[in-house]
C-alpha cells in the first residue's frame, strides 16, 4: 500500500520474520522496511536504524519526534496492526461472552496497560473489544486490503 500510494516501483524482498530482515536492514542490504513498532523499537532506540514515519493517524509517544506518514505528505495513509482472539465456529455464545469478559478485564489491568503501552500497542476501548467490533474490524480490513492486493497483482498461492 505504501509503495502504491507513493507511486514507486520497488523490489520487495520477502523475509521469514523481522529478525532476518532487521539484520539485513542494519547491515545496509536494503534501504527501508515497514514493520510493527514493537518489533523495531529496540533497534531504533539503540541507534541502529532510523524511524522515518509511523503509519498510525497519531504520532506514537514511544517514538517522539517521528512524524506520521499521513502528515508527512502521504495523506490518507494509515495502516495499523491489530490482534484478536478467535475460537472455532460453533462455540456457544455464553463461552464467547465469558472469554470476552476475561479479555476486557485483562486489558484493564494497570500492569498490562503499562507494558503494552511501552511496546507501542494501541489498546482497544471496551466498545472495541467485543465480538461485534471484531466482525466490523475484519470487514473493514478486507475492504481496505482486497483492492490493494488485487492492484498489486498478488495471487493466492
φ, ψ of residue 38 to 5 degrees: the values are -55, -30
Structural domain ending residue among the three candidates 32, 63, 81: 81
68 and 123 assigned to the same domain: no
2 and 73 assigned to the same domain: yes
Provide the pLDDT for residue 116: 92
68 and 104 assigned to the same domain: no
Task: List average pLDDT for each run of 10 residues in the chain, which is 157 residues long.
Answer: 86 91 95 92 94 93 94 92 91 95 95 92 90 94 89 81
Q: State how many domains the chain has.
A: 2
By residue range, what is the domain housing residue 55? 1-81
Provide the pLDDT for residue 87: 92
Q: CB within 8 A of 10, min separation 6: which ones? A: 3
CB distance 4 to 152 below 8 Å:
yes
Provide the pLDDT for residue 11: 86
Amino acid at each position: 500500500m505504501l509503495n502504491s500510494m507513493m507511486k514507486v516501483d520497488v523490489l520487495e524482498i520477502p523475509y521469514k520474520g523481522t529478525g532476518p530482515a532487521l539484520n539485513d536492514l542494519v547491515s545496509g542490504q536494503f534501504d527501508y522496511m515497514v514493520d510493527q513498532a514493537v518489533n523495531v523499537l529496540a533497534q531504533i532506540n539503540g541507534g541502529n536504524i532510523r524511524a522515518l514515519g509511523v503509519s498510525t493517524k497519531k504520532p506514537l509517544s514511544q517514538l517522539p519526534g517521528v512524524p506520521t506518514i499521513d502528515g508527512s505528505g502521504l495523506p490518507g495513509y494509515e495502516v495499523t496492526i491489530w490482534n484478536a482472539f478467535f475460537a472455532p465456529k460453533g462455540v456457544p455464545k455464553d463461552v464467547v461472552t465469558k472469554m470476552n469478559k476475561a479479555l476486557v478485564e485483562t486489558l484493564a489491568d494497570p500492569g498490562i496497560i503499562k507494558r503494552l503501552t511501552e511496546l507501542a500497542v494501541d489498546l482497544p476501548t471496551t466498545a472495541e473489544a467485543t465480538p461485534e467490533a471484531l466482525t466490523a474490524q475484519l470487514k473493514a480490513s478486507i475492504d481496505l486490503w482486497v483492492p490493494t492486493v488485487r492492484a498489486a497483482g498478488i495471487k493466492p498461492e
